[in-house]
Amino acid sequence: MERTLFLDRDGVVNVQLIGDYVKNISELEIREDFLRSIPLLRENFQKIVIVTNQQGIAKGICTRENVETVHQYLLDWLKERGLIINKIYVCPHLAGAGCTCRKPEIGMALQAQADFPDIDFAHSVMIGDSASDMQFGRRCGMETVFIGKVTDENREVILKNSDHIVSSIYQYISQQ
Ligand SMILES: [Mg+2]
Ligand SMILES: [Zn+2]
């Protein structure tokens, strides 16, 4: 059975910049627990895609080209370390703009399925650090893994939509 992993980017693959966006490769710092998880991610998943909300583009804080450059670098960097990411999907729109691709909407999952028709959501896992990631995964019928902090603000949505709540991606993947 082919399994697909859907990954959020900021706070999962790379360190989240508080109140800012990754605009160039010097601002991209890969998380330690993600790096450590690479061999196990390869073993457990036949396909891996990243789905990321980047409203900094709509805000004019960074351009699509900035984001593309960072993503090409990220793909190459991970490939050198043995991890193939099949594709990175980006929602460039503002929160509240009503697009169908910003998580928790599932447009990026549908796009991935259109690109790779053998993706089966019932055999997919979504790993993220925000409530919208968990809602996205749950709406698609994926297994959902929350690796962020449960707070008073997000508790209700997280508890309702997360199959696993763990402290790191490594904690989840090392238990598989
Ligand atoms: Mg995130
Ligand atoms: Zn969008």
Quote the CA–CA distance of 18 and 129 in Å, as a whole number.
Answer: 13
Q: 51 C-alpha vs ligand 2 centroid, how far in Å?
A: 11
**Would residue 118 show up in a list of annotated catalytic residues for this protein?**
no
pLDDT at position 1 over 90: no
Quote the CA–CA distance of 131 and 138 in Å, as a whole number.
Answer: 11
Count Cα atoms within 13 angstroms, Cβ side, for 75.
14
- Output b/e per residue, 22-39; b: 16+ Cβ within 10 A: bbeeeebeebebbeebbe
Q: pLDDT tens digit string along 25-48?
A: 999 999 999 999 999 999 999 999
The residue assigned the tokens 């460039």 is 92
Ligand of minimum distance to the alpha carbon of 148: 1
The residue assigned the tokens 């594709």 is 87
User: Domain ranges in the chain?
Assistant: 4-173
**Would residue 10 show up in a list of annotated catalytic residues for this protein?**
yes
Indicate the pLDDT class of residue 148, thresholds 50, 70 and 90: confident
- Compute φ and ψ for 150, nearest 5 degrees: -85, 125
Q: pLDDT tens digit string along 115-138?
A: 999 999 999 999 999 999 999 999
Q: 50 C-alpha vs ligand 1 centroid, how far in Å?
A: 11
The pair of three-digit structure tokens given for residue 148, joined into one six-digit string? 């962020």
Q: 129 C-alpha vs ligand 2 centroid, how far in Å?
A: 19
Q: Which of 8, 33, 129, 133 is flagged as catalytic? A: 8
Quote the CA–CA distance of 124 and 105 in Å, as a whole number.
Answer: 17
pLDDT at position 112 over 90: yes
Q: Which amino acid is at 63?
A: T
Global confidence as pTM:
0.97
The pair of three-digit structure tokens given for residue 48, joined into one six-digit string? 């891996």
User: Looking at domain 4-173, what is its CATH homologous superfamily?
Assistant: HAD superfamily/HAD-like (3.40.50.1000)
What does 161-173 look like in DSSP terms, one character per residue?
H-SEE-S-HHHHH
Ligand of minimum distance to the alpha carbon of 146: 1
Q: Which amino acid is at 10?
A: D
The pair of three-digit structure tokens given for residue 122, joined into one six-digit string? 């019932």
Q: 21 C-alpha vs ligand 1 centroid, how far in Å?
A: 11
Q: What is the mean pLDDT of residues 95-121?
A: 97
